[in-house]
Amino acid sequence: MINISQSLMNLVLDAQCCPYAVKLNYVDRLKSETTELMLRGHVFEYKLLGKSSSDKEIPELPRLMKGGLSQPEKDIDLLVQIARAAMTNMGVDFETAQMQVKILNDKGESGHLDMVANFKGRKGIHDVKYTETKYDDRWNGWADLELKPDSKRQARHYIKLWHDIHDEWLPYYFWVFGKSGWIRLIKCTVTEESIDMHEEEIKVTRDLLKRFEREGWKPLPSYEKCKACYMIEHCKYVQTLPDIEQYII
């Protein structure tokens, strides 16, 4: 059985989901390529939390020819200093925090929390994000959480899982750090209705996975989708040219 994580839910519940991509990633367990931006995000998170999200590797940026730090790494180091100071000064207790916490409930729903820490005297789940978007970017960035359904689902999933396992409701914080030094702190709490909705989404995800499997994990390629697909290097069904959009006028 595949564990239901928030990233799997986000993939499967996307109206454009390609079942074959789900199979490559979650059944065949093939690794996706790490983009440079993703790597910078992993390095930032590792340096800020002091622990890698991967059990197997510590993320590293390439060094200069003579072994010195590259400019992107110097920029990240500076941002880590800013982030650490802001979080500490605002009341996050790094001393007692648990980093990179993996959780799994008895129904096969899983999560990977960046940090569980006391903040202003109350325990909370904290997620750190590195972004190269602008502070007020509503469409690709973090200026409006309402436009980020995947992130809202992530927060709901982790709050629910923590409650399933520990029987306590914790607030969820996104600490968003922009490359240029800006910071957003977004607090999420849930309602009974939103948790019911999340349970329903988990059920829909399970039903869709069963259907995908029954139908043989059918590839559903399209030029736009394949171009952005994180499993493209493993796929033999990639669509490399766009479809013709037709109108009778």
Q: Contact at 8 Å (CB) between 76 and 43?
A: yes
Question: Which residue, 32 or 118, has its beta carbon nearer to ligand SF4?
Answer: 32
- How many chain residues are in contact with ligand SF4, going by CB under 6 A? 13
CA distance 140 to 20: 26
**Closest approach of Cβ 238 to ligand SF4, in Å?**
4
**Closest approach of Cβ 239 to ligand SF4, in Å?**
6
- State the amino acid at position 3 in one-letter form: N
Question: Which residue, 190 or 229, has its beta carbon nearer to ligand SF4?
Answer: 229
**Closest approach of Cβ 31 to ligand SF4, in Å?**
14
Whose structure tokens read 């059918």? 218
Question: Which residue, 209 or 229, has its beta carbon nearer to ligand SF4?
Answer: 229
Q: How does strand 122-131 pair with strand 172-178?
A: parallel
- Of residues 192-231, those binding ligand SF4 (CB under 6 A): 219, 221, 225-226, 229, 231
Asked if 237 is part of the footprint of ligand SF4 (rule: CB under 6 A), the reply reads: yes
CA 119 to chain CA centroid, Å, is: 22
- State the amino acid at position 97 in one-letter form: A
Q: How many CB atoms lie within 10 A of CB 159?
A: 23
Q: Contact at 8 Å (CB) between 103 and 113?
A: yes
Question: Which residue, 228 or 244, has its beta carbon nearer to ligand SF4?
Answer: 228
Question: Which residue, 103 or 235, has its beta carbon nearer to ligand SF4?
Answer: 235
**Closest approach of Cβ 24 to ligand SF4, in Å?**
6
E strands in the chain: 98-104, 110-119, 122-131, 172-178, 183-188
Q: Contact at 8 Å (CB) between 32 and 228?
A: no
Asked if 72 is part of the footprint of ligand SF4 (rule: CB under 6 A), the reply reads: no
- Of residues 1-60, those binding ligand SF4 (CB under 6 A): 18, 20-21
Q: How does strand 110-119 pair with strand 98-104?
A: antiparallel
Asked if 171 is part of the footprint of ligand SF4 (rule: CB under 6 A), the reply reads: no
Residue ranges in contact with ligand SF4 by CB under 6 A? 18, 20-21, 219, 221, 225-226, 229, 231-232, 235, 237-238
